[in-house]
Structure 1
Amino acid sequence: MAQKIHFISGLPRSGSTLLAAILRQNPRFHAAMTSPVGGLVDRMLEAMSEDNEFSAFISHEQKRALILGIFSAYYHPQTDKEVIFDTNRLWCSKLPLIEELFPDAKVICCVRNIAWIMDSIELLIRRNAFDVSRLFNNPAERATVYSRTEALSQGSRLVGYAYNALKEAFYSEQSEYLLLVDYELLTIKPDKTLSLIYQFLGETPYAHDFEDVQYNESEFDKKLNTKGLHEVRSQVEFKPRKTILPPDLFERFDGLSFWTEATNSRASAIVAKAK
């Protein structure tokens, strides 16, 4: 595809939608919440795998062209912007694929203390007290804050999968493609954070308006019965508050921020150092 492409990935409730909303202010950039491209790529890879009896007739070059075709078919009719940011948490688990398809691409990974991610999701669940969130599979998972956080932390679920994929990417051979961006720093110092992001991308700086950020995907959130999941406030700011998690739960998830120590990784990071 003719356009330059980068990726936004990382952890949920960590600022990926906010970052996309800021980046899209730049008239050269296209950015949005999670797109279907990652899922389509996954399905295509499965369709071309050994489970398909006709896979023997699909060469490496054809596989590459088919995957590239997904990006072109999705974005070419939608936008003529010069730079595309595709958002999906699975990209952290697809760095070898990204390296082969888009060797100049970068992956911006939004991160946040896991305890505060669980707190943020729990706050949404409580605010939507009359709705049955589709983030959970059954009444047993939805029953209590303990069962909800336990479900979300499983390896195939919203938080657990993203965390494991991020960890894989952070310690991978392709870790130099990553830039980790901490949610708190993004909201406390958005101007400085965006300046460093532009520097990492090799892009010309742009004067973003952090007082008037606009983005809304309320219809998508309604389908998940979790209103506010992708809500972005117009003003970028950090609002400290007390956690609503029980102390033992907060302690369980606190301290899992492996990215504060850059040992054994070539990833760049805009994060607070470990104390």
Structure 2
Amino acid sequence: MSRAIHFISGLPRSGSTLLAALLRQNPRFHAGMSSPVAGMFNNLLGEMSGRNEFSVFIDDAQRERVLRGLFDNYYGPDIDAQVIFDTNRMWCSKLPVLRTLFPHGRIIACVRHVSWVMDSFERLTRRNVFQPSSIFSYRPGTTVYSRTEGLAGGDGLVGHAYNALKEAYFGEHAAQHLMLVQYETLTNDPARVLAAIYAFLDEPAFEHDFENISYDATEFDLRAGTPGLHAVRPRVEAICNETILPPDVFRRYENDAFWRDPNINLRRVQVV
């Protein structure tokens, strides 16, 4: 691409939509909620693999061109931005191939204590008591225990993203291509977070407005049966709540914030 391409990834319910809403204030930037590019990316990889009998006609150079062309065509000339941020939780598991496709690309991974990620999902569920959510396959007969267990599984919304994050964090390319943004820092000190991101991306500084944030994904959230899933408050602020999770559920995940332990930050990944 003639434009810079970067990625927003990490854990769900950890500020990625808020971060995108802030970044898009810069007229040079394009950013939004999770896009369909990652899904198409995976499908293309699969269709160009040995499971397709015609893969004998496809070499790695062609695969690389096709995958790079996906971004070039999805973010076509109708998007007037010099820097593109594509958002998806899957990108952390794709760091080696993204590094090959976009050597100057960076991943900004949003993170949050997993107990509070679970708490946030539970709040959404209880707020929308008349609408079973796509997050839980529209099943109305779940409990807080089955919901959190499903989210935490290896293929669950939280578990898969968590494992992908660890894969990137401990991977050999992490130091140069990965930055972690903690939800707590983003909501308490957004100016510090944005300054660190601009420095990481080697982009000129921009004055952001943390008191007037605009973002609307109401239609998408309604179709997903989860109103408020991508809601962003008009101003950045930290909201202090007591957890609504049972104590045993909250304790189950409270020690999972591995990024807070500098002793295991083997790649010296920047954590803001």
Q: TM-score, normalised by structure 1?
A: 0.96
Match of 1:175 in 2: 174
Residue 170 to residue 241, structure 1, CA distance change in 2 (3 Å): same
Match of 1:225 in 2: 225
Match of 2:148 in 1: 149
Residue identity matched to 2:157: L
Structure 1: tracts of 5 or more residues without a match: 271-275
Matches within 5 A, 1:3-82: 3-82=3-82
Residues 211-240 of structure 1: per-residue CA shift (max 9 Å, x gap): 001001011111110000000001000011
The Cα shift of 1:139 comes to 3.7
The Cα shift of 1:200 comes to 1.0
The Cα shift of 1:138 comes to 6.2
SS at match of 1:8: strand
Residues 36-75 of structure 1: per-residue CA shift (max 9 Å, x gap): 1111110000000010111111011110000011001100
- Determine whether 1:268 maps to 2:267: no
Query: Share of identical aligned residues, percent?
Result: 53
Question: Number of matched residues?
Answer: 269
CA distance in 1 between counterparts of 2:166 and 2:214 reads 31
SS at match of 1:110: strand
CA distance in 1 between counterparts of 2:213 and 2:120 reads 20
CA distance in 1 between counterparts of 2:215 and 2:187 reads 16
Q: Where in structure 1 do 4 or more consecutive aligned residues deviate above 2 Å?
A: 137-140
Residue identity matched to 1:162: A
Residue 152 to residue 78, structure 1, CA distance change in 2 (3 Å): farther
SS at match of 1:94: helix
CA distance in 1 between counterparts of 2:134 and 2:193 reads 33
Structure 2: tracts of 5 or more residues without a match: none
SS at match of 1:119: helix
The Cα shift of 1:199 comes to 1.0
- Determine whether 1:187 maps to 2:174: no
Match of 2:99 in 1: 99
Residues 95-142 of structure 1: per-residue CA shift (max 9 Å, x gap): 0111100001110000000000000000000000111111113648x5
Residue 208 to residue 72, structure 1, CA distance change in 2 (3 Å): same
CA distance in 1 between counterparts of 2:34 and 2:173 reads 22
CA distance in 2 between counterparts of 1:139 and 1:37 reads 27
CA distance in 1 between counterparts of 2:271 and 2:55 reads 40
Residue identity matched to 2:24: R
Match of 1:162 in 2: 161
Q: TM-score, normalised by structure 2?
A: 0.97
Residue 36 to residue 199, structure 1, CA distance change in 2 (3 Å): same
SS at match of 1:103: coil
